[in-house]
Each structure stands twice: as structure tokens, then as C-alpha cells.
A and B are shown apart, each in its own frame.
Chain A
Amino acid sequence: MFAIETENLTKYYGKHRGVVSLFLQVKEGQIFGYLGPNGAGKTTTIRLLMNLIGPMDGNAKVLGLDLNKSGLEARRHIGYLPGELSLYEDLTGKELLNYLGNLGRSVDWALVAYLSELFECDLTRPIRELSRGNKQKIGLIQAFMHKPDLLILDEPTIGLDPLMQHAFLELLERVKKEGRTVFLSSHNLGEVEKSCDEIGIIREGKLVAVESVESLKQKFLKHIEVEFKSAPPLEAFAGITNIIDIKPKGTVFEFVIQGELDPMLKRIAEFEVENLTSHDISLEDIFMDYYSGEMENA
């Protein structure tokens, strides 16, 4: 069963594109990273899933509930952190959690105590006196405090220091172990790479890739530098289709490879190799490739 399922979801703001024909499926129990640059349609997707805006076409289901018909029931099982978090400044953290807890969901106060300790968050101070990071912690606590089946988090670690980011990743691990689902939109690619089972990349309102991080890494371009004892002829590598590019510099050859490495390694083994360097590909490289168009060109 899918925790999130959208079908042809489309949203325009006048002439401006939000998302176009979005088909998205997020499996239950996984942590799904949703990536894209500013304006790609991430927040539009999230606000559609939260029923804050309505689609022009298509539909969405959350935890098997059609948002058009059962949006209220769906929200009962969702913990949400908005990207542009704004809290009621006149309340203290505890008052805010108490207020939100009275709006249709029961709060696990033992969990609140655990979360406030995990994030080192003082819930007794008025929110207007808190720093950006401390407000973000309260935002996270309110999203997690009722043990939702699905968490929709838009830029959850903005303003958090590295220690708190680490605490957040720990919390995601705990949620995952409990079999709950997390839909995570983030610009922090390191965080996504560490925590997500699968990622979706959105560009100009369209979903351009949905895959596991490992699988994406497999598919993406790898840069391998090989130093030969004496330079082999370029023709020796002809016919290996997954070599995208070769840049020879004397006896050092830089190979750009897509997919499996095996055919290329077998071929270079026919020559005397002095050194071989493989540049680890990060999610950031993949992301940059997608947006620079290198992937398409390849």
C-alpha cells in the first residue's frame, strides 16, 4: 500500500506553473526524499497533499484516503512541518502544543517530553523570544507529537545546528523502525542521502526521477582517473558503450562512465596500470547533474 499516491496532479497559479501531471507513489514505511531547486514545485506538492490548495486536475490519496473526500480524516494521521514555519508568537511552546493538541488529535505528552529533551528545547519560554532554530524545534515537536502514520516535512533542519540535525536523523531512524512513513523535502542533500530510502527529483513541476539513492548512484555518471605506464590508443576503448567520455592527458586518462564499471575495468586491465582513482559520487553530484542537464545530454 502507498502512503502517498498522486495521479496526474496538476496545479497552476494563474499562468505560473506549480506542478504538472504529477504521478507520485510513496510506499508505506519508507523515508522518501523530495528534491528540487527553488520553484520546482516541492512546496506546491506538499500544500496539495495537505489540502491547503486544491488541484486543477488529478487527485491525491494519503494513507489510502482520497483527499477530496476524506481530507479531514487524512490530516488526523499526518504530522506536518511547513517550509515557511510561523508559530503563534504570543504563546509559549507548551501552550502552542496544547492548543494544536486540542484541534482534533491526541497528544502523547511523554513523547513531547522525550522530543523536547532530544532537541534541548525549552517549552516554557514565549515563542516570540526564541531564535529561528528553537522555533524550528517546536515545529518539529508539533509534527511528531501525536505519533502520526505519515510525516510531511518541508525543510525540517533549516536553522538547526549540526548536533540537532544529528538528533533529527536519529528521530527519523526511530520513526522508520516503527514502520511509519516520512515524506521529506530538503535542500540538505547530505541529510537526504543519509536518511532516505528513495528519492524523487522534481524539475519544473514534473517528477523526473524516483529511485533509491544507491540505484541513482549506479545510473549516474562516474568519473574514474587511470594512470597507465604508457598511454594506450583511444581506439582500445571503442565499443564500450557505457564510456561516455575519455579525456587523455599524457598517460592519465579520465573516464566518464554511466552504469556498470565492469566492461571498462576489463579493458583497462589489458594495459599496465600504475594508479586508479574513483571519485565517489554524492547525491549532490547527481542533483547537480540533473539540473545542469548533463544527465539528459548523456
Chain B
Amino acid sequence: MLRSVYTKTLREISTSLLWWSVGLFGYVFFSCYFYPVIASKASAFVQLIKDVSLMNFFTGASGDFVTPQGYLFSEFFSAIGPLLLIIFSIGFGADAIAGEENRKTADLLLSNPITRSRIILDKFLVLLTGNFVLSLALWLGFLLGGHIYHIQIDSLKLIQTNLGMFLLSLSFGSLAFMVSAWLGQKGLASSISTLISVISYFLWGFGSMVNSLKPYEKLSLFYYYAGDNPLKKGLSSKSALILLVPAVVCLIVALGTYEKRDIRI
């Protein structure tokens, strides 16, 4: 496990990644467990959502809380799922490069005959792996929960939704990663990325309810991920591409800026 920066870093986060995966798997599984209860009280939920327009915000603007797709989207995919993944992703992204400087291990690491771009690529690969493992845990949770509690969901759309969430959290994680590599400041990297992700979330969440925000909702990455419930309509290749672009741009900027800058002492 100590053959490269990639494996060393993966080992560092392995315990945390394991517990995150277990937690997300459990959350998703129990969300499926509660679905039959929700479905049995469908009419009451439909009435509640009609009466309280703000519920749209919490149900991912779909207004659907009782179909399997609507329930899972509202319960998990519209907010808690992506936000949990983003928290993990930003946490790792901010620490990836700046953490070595904060803990003062960067001098030792960089005194070896290894290029800075190699370090960036290895650490970014860990960001990708972490997001992938969590997305996989979620998918497995839905697969098992859906099977046991007879929730009928198109498996391709479930994979597309997971992919969208993976790309969304990867983008925000990449933003934190870029700031971390560029400035070497972990706190700043996580603050900037968290602020932008929260703004992005609210822009999308309120965009469907507040007319003045409507023109700006396309500025939010959540718009391309969630759209109008990917569990129902899937994730278009255009949306997937738009979600991927920030991650690629952030990686390129991280490579360029880390190569030349002074390592903080």
C-alpha cells in the first residue's frame, strides 16, 4: 500500500472512506425500508405537498413524494445524497495538497525525485476513487434495498443518477483541490468550495420557486445534475459533460499552478 503517493494517500483515507461508505449504504438502505410506509400514505403526502409550496424545495422541485422515483429523489438524491458526497469530496480535495504543507510533510515528500505533476495526478486519482467508492456504496444500497422492498426503478436511470451525483461532487471536490494546490491553504480551499456549493444548491433549489432567480438557475451545477429528476428522465450526455468540465478545468489549473509555486513552510 506504500508504493506510490496514490496508494499512500488512499491508505490514509481508507478508514474514513469505509465508514462513509457504510453510512451512506445504510442511509440509502433504510430510505428504501421506509418507502412502503410512505407509499401506503400516498394521498396524505400529496395533499401536504399541494398545501405547502415550500415543500417543493425539499422534494427537489418535483412535487412528487410518493412514486418510487419521486420518493428516492426527494429523500436522497435531491439534497442529502449530493451534499454528503460533496462534504466528503471538498474535505479531501482541500486537504490533498495543502494538508501536506499544513502538516509540514511536503518538504520531505518533494525532496524525492518525483514531479509535482505526479503528486497532483496521484492525489486527484484518490479524489476520483473516493467519489467512485461512495457512489458505488450508494448504488449497492439502492440495489439491495430496492430488491428487498420491491421498489421498481429503471436500473440504467439509477446508474445515470449516481453518475450525475458522482460528477457533481467530483466538481466541487476538484474546486477545493485546485485552491488547495494553487494557494496551499486548506481552510481557504474548503471555505471557498463550500460557499460556492451552497450558493449553487440554493440557486437551483429556489430557482424553480422564485421567478427572479429563474434565469440564474442554469449557473448552478445542481441544475445539470438534478434537472427534473434524473431517476425519471435520466442524465443527458450534455449535462454529464457540463458536470465534468469544472473537474477537468480545476485539474489543469492545479497542475499549472502547483508546478511553479513556492511550497509553504
Interface residues of B in 242-264 (CB under 8 A from A): 260, 262-263
Residue of A nearest to B105 (CB): A86
| Docked pose: A43 CA to B263 CA in angstroms | 13
Q: Is the CB of B105 within 8 A of A87?
A: yes
Q: Is the CB of B263 within 8 A of A82?
A: no
List, in ascending order, chain A residues with CB within 8 A of B114's CB: 72, 103-104
| Docked pose: A260 CA to B41 CA in angstroms | 105
B4 located at the interface, meaning its Cβ lies under 8 Å from any Cβ of chain A in the complex: yes
Q: Is the CB of B103 within 8 A of A90?
A: no
Known A-B contacts A53-B262, A72-B113; the reply to A47 vs B2 at CB < 8 A is: no
Between A54, A78, A90, A103, the greatest number of chain B beta carbons within 10 A of the residue's beta carbon is seen for A103
Q: Is the CB of A90 within 8 A of B12?
A: yes
List, in ascending order, chain A residues with CB within 8 A of B5's CB: 103
| Docked pose: A175 CA to B105 CA in angstroms | 26
| Docked pose: A267 CA to B205 CA in angstroms | 97
Interface residues of B in 1-46 (CB under 8 A from A): 2-5, 8, 12
List, in ascending order, chain A residues with CB within 8 A of B111's CB: 50, 52, 75, 78, 80, 82
Partner-contacting stretch, out of A92-100, A206-214, A229-237, A289-297: A92-100
List, in ascending order, chain B residues with CB within 8 A of A72's CB: 113-115
Q: Is the CB of A47 within 8 A of B107?
A: yes
Known A-B contacts A98-B2, A103-B113; the reply to A53 vs B263 at CB < 8 A is: yes
Interface residues of B in 87-116 (CB under 8 A from A): 103-115
A109 located at the interface, meaning its Cβ lies under 8 Å from any Cβ of chain B in the complex: no
Known A-B contacts A43-B265, A90-B12; the reply to A104 vs B113 at CB < 8 A is: yes
Q: Is the CB of B2 within 8 A of A99?
A: yes
| Docked pose: A87 CA to B106 CA in angstroms | 10
The minimal Cβ–Cβ distance linking A90 to chain B, given in whole angstroms, is 6
Known A-B contacts A86-B104, A88-B105; the reply to A100 vs B262 at CB < 8 A is: no
List, in ascending order, chain A residues with CB within 8 A of B265's CB: 43, 47, 84
Q: Is the CB of A99 within 8 A of B8?
A: yes
Q: Is the CB of A51 within 8 A of B110?
A: yes
Task: Count residues of chain B with CB under 8 A from any CB of chain A.
Answer: 23
Q: Is the CB of B107 within 8 A of A52?
A: yes
| Docked pose: A98 CA to B8 CA in angstroms | 11
Interface residues of A in 35-50 (CB under 8 A from B): 43, 47, 50
Q: Is the CB of A105 within 8 A of B110?
A: no
List, in ascending order, chain A residues with CB within 8 A of B263's CB: 47, 52-53
A-B residue pair count with CB separations less than 8 angstroms:
71
Interface residues of A in 59-95 (CB under 8 A from B): 72-73, 75-76, 78, 80, 82, 84-88, 90-91, 95
A131 located at the interface, meaning its Cβ lies under 8 Å from any Cβ of chain B in the complex: no
Report the interface size class on chain A. Answer: 20 to 34
| Docked pose: A103 CA to B103 CA in angstroms | 19
Residue of B nearest to A99 (CB): B2
| Docked pose: A75 CA to B262 CA in angstroms | 17
List, in ascending order, chain B residues with CB within 8 A of A139's CB: 108
| Docked pose: A78 CA to B108 CA in angstroms | 12
Q: Is the CB of A86 within 8 A of B262?
A: no
Q: Is the CB of A52 within 8 A of B262?
A: yes
Between B105, B110, B112, the greatest number of chain A beta carbons within 10 A of the residue's beta carbon is seen for B112
Interface residues of A in 107-143 (CB under 8 A from B): 139, 142
Between B2, B109, B114, the greatest number of chain A beta carbons within 10 A of the residue's beta carbon is seen for B2
Q: Is the CB of A105 within 8 A of B113?
A: yes
Q: Is the CB of A105 within 8 A of B108?
A: no
List, in ascending order, chain B residues with CB within 8 A of A98's CB: 2
Residue of B nearest to A97 (CB): B2
List, in ascending order, chain B residues with CB within 8 A of A142's CB: 108
Residue of B nearest to A143 (CB): B111
Q: Is the CB of B262 within 8 A of A54?
A: yes
Residue in B12, B106, B108, B260 whose CB lies within 8 Å of A85 = B108
Q: Is the CB of B107 within 8 A of A82?
A: yes
| Additional pairs, 18, CB under 8 Å, beyond known A52-B263, A84-B104, A98-B2 | A50-B110, A51-B110, A72-B113, A72-B114, A72-B115, A76-B113, A78-B111, A80-B108, A85-B108, A86-B103, A86-B107, A86-B108, A88-B8, A88-B105, A99-B2, A102-B2, A103-B109, A103-B112
A residues apposed to B, CB below 8 Å? 43, 47, 50-54, 72-73, 75-76, 78, 80, 82, 84-88, 90-91, 95, 98-100, 102-105, 139, 142
Q: Report the 5 A-B pairs with minimum CB-CB distance, sorted nearest first.
A: A86-B104, A104-B113, A103-B112, A80-B111, A99-B2
5 of the cross-chain contacts (CB-CB < 8 Å) are: A50-B111, A82-B107, A84-B104, A91-B2, A98-B2
